[in-house]
Structure 1
Amino acid sequence: MPVDNVNSNPTSGIILSTIKSSFSSPTCWLLDSGATNHICFSKQSFHDLTTIKNSFVTLPNGSRIPIEGIGSVYLFPKLILTNVFYIPTFTFSLISLSELLYAHSLRIIFFDNSFIIQDKLFSLIIGKGESHNGLYILHTDSMQFNTVSFKFHCNSVSLDIWHHRLGHLSHDSFVTLNNKYNLISSRVPHFPCRVCPLEK
């Protein structure tokens, strides 16, 4: 789907007739490996939105659909999509994989019937979705449950294990990291490490 009068490369052509109505939800996003721009049909999904004129998406059949705006969409706390096209005449929303990976330090791991989105630095799972008839679908309304599950799993890991996993990180640095990612639920005490004194 080429884009006219917008600083962008052509986006891929998903045939509109193949997209089922079950995907026409503001919380449902389709991952597109060929698209170069994110597209959202729901105005309520935007955190901020700027109106634009005289810009279009050209469909595979040659018809042109106007782009009515561009803005940011908060999918969930740790993932914000920017430069998202607002196209209300679409009946589904697209996530451009190339744009997603270019703009964020993420990895996406695909399985037979699902996928996960991870933060590269700490391997935090910040989203996951499912495969349906060859389409990979992200449901943003399921992210709250996934986040709680992940934090519960992390709370079972001891401070000593985190210290070793993070390359014998100093106490102050670990406190800073724990305040941001809640690796352990309790206060971070000072504790002896037999390896750290040997490295000084």
Structure 2
Amino acid sequence: QLDNDDVRSTKGTESFTFTKSQYEKLVNLLQSTPAPQPAGPSTQVNGASTSNLASTFVHHSSGNASIAYSYNNSSCGAWIIDSGASDHICSNLALLDNHHEIVPIQVRMPNGTIAFAKHAGSVKLGPSFTVDNVLLVPEFSLNLLSVPRLTYNSKFVVSFDGLACLIQEKRNLKMIGSGELIEGLYYLTNKPKPVTVNINTTPAQTSAIHIPTQALWHFRLGHFSHARLQLMQSYFPFVTLDTTSVCDICHLARHRKLPYKLN
């Protein structure tokens, strides 16, 4: 028989006693526990809820995704370069160009709620820096750049050091973006930091010699031979090679002495 003060359960010779308030808390706890997910495609949170880490987005072929970390101090327009994200994520539809509907991808947020990515598009981050297949997750407060997606098919080269991150085009190593380390996260900066070089020049030192575009790399590399330039061109297509003209400097450098002038 149960009374109003406690609930007793006996099994054999052992007796366990709960007060009424403890019993109510236990019932509420059991009711608030989420039911197990059915077998099949599901999503999981892969990390702890740390407030100062970038969110990780995992895109599976089954159409599911999970966000492992949350960061609440990021502005809506900032982009974080994330090596753990497998897809680009955008939280604002206004940032997407040529957006279109996609098959909904299920996303489990860090707080346990479920969101769906229903749109994707491209984002222009610089004059020559555009990323495609960016997924829209309005419920997420971050914009993430996925390093694996940037380096897919060797389109870009991404390098990190202790203070910055560089994004370059693979075909010509042109820097198209950079990231700055802020509180453990690499934030994309649209304007690369300028490099200051102090050179003391005078008008008398200024040269007006015009170098043909085809011979530019020949001069830059210290008058490389045609054979070596052809080898470099096979690895770096942007290296130009002029096989028709003759370099006067290279021609005179092979002379043991300058020719005599005829009077």
Give the TM-score band, short-chain normalised. Answer: 0.5 to 0.7
State the secondary structure of the residue aligned to 2:149: helix
Matched, 1:19 2:19: no
Aligned to 2:229: 168
Aligned amino acid, residue 50 of structure 1: H
Aligned to 1:136: 186
Q: Do the aligned partners of 1:32 and 1:97 also contact (CA within 8 Å) in 2? A: yes
Q: Which runs of 5+ in 1 are unaligned?
A: 153-157, 170-175, 179-189, 196-200
Task: Trace 1:34-53 onto structure 2 (pairs within 5 A).
Answer: 34-52=84-102
Once the 2 structures are TM-superposed, how far is the Cα of residue 118 of structure 1 from its aligned partner? Answer: 1.8
Cα distance in 2 between the residues matched to 1:9 and 1:134: 28
Cα distance in 1 between the residues matched to 2:174 and 2:162: 21
Match of 1:194 among 244, 250, 254: 250
Q: Do the aligned partners of 1:12 and 1:35 also contact (CA within 8 Å) in 2? A: no
Higher relative contact order, chain-length normalized (CA < 8 Å, sep 6+) = 1
Aligned to 1:186: none
Q: Do the aligned partners of 2:64 and 2:107 also contact (CA within 8 Å) in 1? A: no
| RMSD (Å) for aligned C-alpha atoms | 3.7
Question: Aligned residues: percent identity?
Answer: 26
Q: Which runs of 5+ in 2 are unaligned?
A: 1-56, 198-210, 231-236, 240-244, 252-263
Show CA shifts across 1:45-89 (max 9, x none): 212100236432112443211213011112123222111101122
Q: Do the aligned partners of 2:163 and 2:180 also contact (CA within 8 Å) in 1? A: yes
Q: Do the aligned partners of 1:73 and 1:82 also contact (CA within 8 Å) in 2? A: yes
**TM superposition score normalised by structure 1:** 0.65
Aligned amino acid, residue 161 of structure 1: R
Q: 1:64 to 1:9 in 2, by over 3 A?
A: closer
Q: 1:62 to 1:191 in 2, by over 3 A?
A: farther
Which has a greater percent of helix? 1
Aligned to 1:183: none
Task: Trace 1:13-162 onto structure 2 (pairs within 5 A).
Answer: 13=68, 15-16=69-70, 18-20=71-73, 23-26=74-77, 28-52=78-102, 54-140=104-190, 142=191, 149=194, 159=216, 160-161=219-220
Q: Do the aligned partners of 1:10 and 1:36 also contact (CA within 8 Å) in 2? A: no
Cα distance in 2 between the residues matched to 1:47 and 1:104: 23
